[in-house]
């Protein structure tokens, strides 16, 4: 007798991911889909994909979705959630989307304590447009627009978005994860599930930052990219729970949306 121990999440479509080999997006898509299945919220979930590599997320998720313009995901998610407060609404954003062009929308949605979840993919480059410098690009990191390495004097410093948003009283749960190894993938899924649960419980803004490999634009093999996250990237962006209002009294009051 055979027993099925592993399968495709129900809320992922049959389509094959277009993402590059070794890219973190497909793993995170899968994790979000597994969480939606496990929480049994497929029918009440609305996703907001960004401009960027994940713009085609609606080809993969078998849930209702609406594309946002670059950086505007949290504003659009706000409009949806306030109109349909009993739905589960998440935006899915990259580092350029969230930390550069859409930082105002993200910051203020967090500050209003909008009861939404943000999946924040940090791969330290603009992936879709070919590897330009992002707000999260590390000092010294070479990109197509910082060819001799990011220089703090000219280009400023990598922004730690999770730490910044965690200082806002409207945020409830923020964790930085990565998907570069099986144990880290399991941790990331747990974090995503918790973030969705906080939303379902009406606690307020939750965000999961995922350090995500981009071998194509980092010009590395997938294995080297995973190693680079451990050895370099996570030194700048430390992994772990950054804010959890349930386990800390420093987090300020929760906001019920």
User: Which residues of this protein are in contact with another protein, per CB under 8 A?
Assistant: 11, 42-46, 48, 51, 55-56, 58, 61-69, 72, 75-84, 87-88, 104-105, 107-108, 112
**Which CB atom, from 102 or from 213, has the smaller least distance to another protein?**
102
- Whether residue 192 contacts residue 199, with contact meaning beta carbons closer than 8 Å, is answered with no
Nearest distance in Å: CB 79, another protein: 3
Listed residue (178, 180, 237, 163) closest to 210, CA to CA: 178
Residue 242 to residue 174: CA distance in whole angstroms: 5
Nearest distance in Å: CB 60, another protein: 11
Residue 185 to residue 130: CA distance in whole angstroms: 26
Burial class (CB in 10 A: 0-12, 13-18, 19+), 16: exposed
Nearest distance in Å: CB 113, another protein: 13
**Which CB atom, from 135 or from 158, has the smaller least distance to another protein?**
135
**Which CB atom, from 79 or from 149, has the smaller least distance to another protein?**
79
**Which CB atom, from 72 or from 194, has the smaller least distance to another protein?**
72
Nearest distance in Å: CB 237, another protein: 25
Residue 90 to residue 247: CA distance in whole angstroms: 23
**Which CB atom, from 41 or from 224, has the smaller least distance to another protein?**
41
* Residue 30: half-sphere exposure toward Cβ, Cα within 13 Å: 16
**Which CB atom, from 44 or from 241, has the smaller least distance to another protein?**
44
Nearest distance in Å: CB 9, another protein: 13
How are beta strands 132-133 and 205-211 bridged, if at all? unpaired
- C-alpha torsion sign, points 126, 178, 235, 158: positive
**Which CB atom, from 31 or from 46, has the smaller least distance to another protein?**
46
Listed residue (233, 244, 195, 243) closest to 28, CA to CA: 195
Nearest distance in Å: CB 36, another protein: 11
Nearest distance in Å: CB 58, another protein: 4
Task: Give the Cβ contact number of residue 7 at 10 Å.
Answer: 6
Residue 182 to residue 8: CA distance in whole angstroms: 17
Burial class (CB in 10 A: 0-12, 13-18, 19+), 117: buried
């Amino acid at each position: 007798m055979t027993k099925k121990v592993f399968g495709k999440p129900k809320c992922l479509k049959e389509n094959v991911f277009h993402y590059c080999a070794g890219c973190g997006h497909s793993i995170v898509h899968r994790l979000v889909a597994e969480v939606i299945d496990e929480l049994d919220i497929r029918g009440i979930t609305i996703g907001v994909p960004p401009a960027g590599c994940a713009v085609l997320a609606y080809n993969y998720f078998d849930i209702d979705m609406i594309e946002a313009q670059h950086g505007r995901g949290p504003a659009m998610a706000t409009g949806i959630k306030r109109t349909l407060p009993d739905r589960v609404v998440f935006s899915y954003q990259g580092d350029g989307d969230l930390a550069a062009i859409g930082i105002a929308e993200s910051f203020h949605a967090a500050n209003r304590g909008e009861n939404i979840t943000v999946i924040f993919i940090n791969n330290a480059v603009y992936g879709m447009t070919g590897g330009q410098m992002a707000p999260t690009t590390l000092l010294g990191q070479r990109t197509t627009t910082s060819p001799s390495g990011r220089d703090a004097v000219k280009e400023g410093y990598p922004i730690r978005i999770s730490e910044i948003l965690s200082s806002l009283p409207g945020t409830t749960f923020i964790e930085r994860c990565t998907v570069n190894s099986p144990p880290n993938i399991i941790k990331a899924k747990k974090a995503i599930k918790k973030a969705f649960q906080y939303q379902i419980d009406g606690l307020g803004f939750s965000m999961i930052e995922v350090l995500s490999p981009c071998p194509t634009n980092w010009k590395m093999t997938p294995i080297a990219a995973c190693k680079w996250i451990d050895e370099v990237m996570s030194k700048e962006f430390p992994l772990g729970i950054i804010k959890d209002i349930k386990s800390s009294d420093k987090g300020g009051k929760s906001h019920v949306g």
